[in-house]
Chain A
Amino acid sequence: MELIQYALDNLDLLGSRMLEHIALVGVAVGIATVTGVPIGIAITKNERLAKSVLYAASIIVTIPSIALFGIMIPVLSLIGQGIGYLPAVIAVLLYSQLPIIRNTYTAINNVDPALREAARGIGMSQNQRLRMVEIPLAVPVIMAGVRTAVVLNIGVMAIAAYIGAGGLGTFISRGISQSDPRQLIVGAIAVSLLAILVDYALLALQKRLTPLGMERAAETA
């Protein structure tokens, strides 16, 4: 009861923090998609490069977010951005690379060799093959990677409150520092709900982007 009362009393704040949170994750994963998908496609041409890129991306994910923020403070301080918005976006951007690059790489690599041969045989250039066949077929798996990145990073972004990036994490950090379980729990629930809702929204988007003829394939992805 107390929690609901608190949430209702602070509805405005909760809403604006949530928008902040969405904006942070959205910008970061958006940039990560724009960079990760081309990287994922590019590395399908070279197996050794693919291995090193995926390895590097995996290592980044193993760095605890708190440590990553800590590392970035001295570096970004050089341009006066040691804490706040920029390091938060960069961290999420880095964490998002692995699921997006890996899913893109796998999806493009897994396009049926017969389709690739048919596409070559009828005279499509490499770009036409990507645009007309391989990317459309890879969309469901690429989108699944984007969803993983978003859900993962909604959690990471909650910790970015400690470096002053804002978002729903501020409820949690204040709850801890002020020993106020209401703020802590409302913040935690809000982060979880946001993750679930966004995942559903992206799933709907994934279905819309999936070519009609492959809907059955998308359901298993």
Chain B
Amino acid sequence: MIQLDNLTKVFDTPKGAVTAADNISMEVPAGEICILLGPSGCGKTTTLKMINRIIRPSSGRVFINGEDTTDLDTQTLRRNIGYVIQQIGLFPNMTIEENISVVPRLLGWDKTKYRERARELMDMIALDPDAFLKRYPSELSGGQQQRIGVARALAADPPVMLMDEPFGAIDPINRAVIQDEFLKMQEALQKTIMFVSHDIDEAIKMGDKVAVFREGKLVQYSTPDDLLAAPRNAFVESFLGEDRTLKRLNLVRVRDVVSDEIGTVSPGDTLETALARIDDFGYQNAIMVVNDKRQPLGLITRALARTTRGYCRDHVQKVPATVSLDDDLRKVASQMFAQDTTWLPCLDDQGRVCGQITQRAMTHYLGSRFRPSSSDARQSDAATEE
């Protein structure tokens, strides 16, 4: 857990005092990633760097796992906080192994222990220890170097990590890969992480919480979904962009929107029955055909049911696409656009038809946060912030 209590930094400049961070108070619960987000010069990096005293706070306190760090010796403090910077900062005079084991060596681990740890970390970041440990940073690609940068920060297994735009200098394709790898690692490691970014998409993808900064002040601190659904003020709203609702598609899962009421027919039913069901349920186009295990067999369309006689099993048409409960709405929307349809059947973990998702339900879900009741949400949000 990281807790900031009225953390403030005032820089003396020739033009007078500048408040880079103004009474920042916030708390990152253990095991969560908190993204500090904002335009450049908003105080996010200053706030981050006050935690490990790269920048000395003018006032305020930092607690780590409940312990006030004010009286801790700077070196001890830093050795217990993983630190990753955008420029990576691997030491070019040291091999990868020496780079990774630098903190354990500072902490006085014995040789067999830190060498073993280096191999363990290489496995964790999916780089072959035998191929890489003896090489030098200049022989690695940018993406590989930043993986080593993360490994170095994790070497002594610190409970807390600070990351200053760690993936900012990596090309977009590799960045997405490293972000995914990092999230997977985090699932196992459960570190408490503060992470500076100026990229909204990164913030939404990586953050359990997002803290938006402006001109040295913490403007809003909430989950990515709340942030996108209920921006506190015009600044946050414009910073998130006009397509912020589309960004929410990434965050909402099918299981949040799915309607578990879905009419089906079985292969033995007649097309007459199918037509009647289509009308009963008020479907426009078609109805699903499922077997006795509720696995999807296909579709019977309204047009076919009206003009043809016989049994469903002889006239089944292919299902254009299905989605599963854990898919996000972005994938669903993409499938709908691709198949030119406004509904898709949902399958559960065992591949059984368990419901349906319609474009209308999605619009309704996303839009519900913006209707009048949303102003209450904003107010209660504001109250918890204070």
Chain A residues in the interface with B (C-beta under 8 A):
112, 114-115, 117-125, 128, 132-133, 136-137, 211-214, 216-217
Contacts and interface: CB of A to CB of B under 8 A. Distances in A.
Interface residues of B, number: 28
Given A132-B102, A213-B136, A120 B78 contact: yes
B102 A122 contact: yes
Interface in B38-69: 52, 54
22 contacts: A117-B87, A118-B83, A119-B91, A121-B52, A121-B162, A122-B78, A122-B102, A122-B106, A123-B76, A123-B77, A123-B78, A123-B106, A124-B102, A125-B75, A132-B91, A132-B94, A133-B93, A137-B93, A211-B93, A212-B136, A214-B138, A217-B92
Nearest to A139: B93
Given A122-B103, A123-B103, A213-B94, A117 B89 contact: yes
A120 B91 contact: no
8 closest A-B pairs by beta carbon, nearest first, are: A118-B89, A213-B136, A211-B93, A114-B87, A123-B78, A123-B79, A121-B83, A136-B93
A117 B75 contact: no
Nearest to B94: A213
Given A122-B103, A128-B106, A213 B83 contact: no
A68 B193 CA distance: 63
Interface string B141-154: 00000000000110
Contacts, number: 77
Interface string B80-91: 000101011111
Interface in B215-232: none
Interface string B91-120: 111110000001100100000000000000
B137 interface: yes
A205 B77 CA distance: 40
A133 B106 contact: no
A133 B85 contact: no
A122 B83 contact: yes
Contacts of A120: 54, 78
Contacts of B106: 122-124, 128
A213 B138 CA distance: 7
Contact of B85 (A117, A123, A214): A117
A3 B103 CA distance: 63
Contacts of B92: 115, 137, 211, 213-214, 217
Nearest to A118: B89
Contacts of A123: 74-79, 103, 106
**Which of A119, A128, A132 lies at the interface centre, i.e. has the most chain B CB atoms within 10 A of its CB?**
A132
A56 B271 CA distance: 103
Contacts of B75: 123-125
Interface string B207-221: 000000000000000
Contacts of B95: 213
Nearest to B87: A114
A52 to B, nearest CB: 24
Nearest to B138: A213
**Which of A117, A118, A125, A137 lies at the interface centre, i.e. has the most chain B CB atoms within 10 A of its CB?**
A118
A211 B92 CA distance: 8
Contact of A213 (B76, B87, B93, B152): B93
B77 to A, nearest CB: 8
Contacts of A112: 87, 89
Contacts of A115: 89, 91-92
Contacts of A132: 91, 94, 102
Nearest to A213: B136
A38 to B, nearest CB: 20
Contacts of A211: 92-94
**Which of A114, A128, A213 lies at the interface centre, i.e. has the most chain B CB atoms within 10 A of its CB?**
A213
Nearest to A133: B91
**Which of B90, B92, B94 lies at the interface centre, i.e. has the most chain A CB atoms within 10 A of its CB?**
B92
B89 A213 contact: no
Nearest to B90: A118
A127 B92 CA distance: 18
A135 to B, nearest CB: 9
A216 B139 CA distance: 11
A128 B77 CA distance: 16
Contact of A122 (B76, B87, B152): B152
B91 A117 contact: no
A125 B85 CA distance: 19
